[in-house]
Amino acid sequence: MAWRDYIVENLRWKLAALVLAVFAWFAIELSIWNDPARGLTKIVPGQTVAVLLVPGDSRTFRIDPPTVDVVLRSTAAGMRNLERQRLAVFVNLTEAPNVPGLTRVVLVNAADEVEVLRVEPKAVFVEPIGPNKQAAAAAQNKP
């Protein structure tokens, strides 16, 4: 049997199956796109990254890059509440306070009804630029 015979034989059934498959694919895509439970997606660009420190630590830090983009998902009401509330975008240095320079994961604290999908970039480089005043005072008091 030639290749042409494989293609032409039962051509009506093959075309009907192709059309049904395309309709099924569009129906599934449309239902996913219109799903109200999925919510709205919003990109919040240029969020400044803060540093969470141990109480009493007075060092200053350089963060590279200093801002990140946050992608959020929520319902329409959740997005309206987000307009009134600020996102808390920070790196946590309470676990490793005395490391000279390190890459840390960016954390985002948002309202309960808002889901954080991703942060770009996921991590930032944190480097101390100011001396720790407590450490400097302790070094001066040593004989």
Per-domain boundaries in the chain: 3-33, 40-132
The DSSP secondary structure of 95-137, one letter per residue, reads SSTT-SSEEEE-EEE--TT-EEEEEESSEEEEEE-S--HHHHH
Count Cβ atoms below 10 Å from residue 128 Cβ, excluding itself: 19
The pLDDT of 4-11, averaged and rounded, is: 85
Q: pLDDT band at 110, cuts 50/70/90?
A: confident
CA 49 to chain centre: 13
DSSP state at residue 66: S
Specify the pLDDT at position 103: 87
For domain 40-132, give the CATH number: 2.170.120.30
Element of type H or E holding 81: helix 76-84
Specify the pLDDT at position 119: 93
User: pLDDT, tens digit, for every residue of 32-70?
Assistant: 776 655 677 888 899 999 988 888 877 788 888 999 999
Q: Any idea how long the chain is?
A: 143
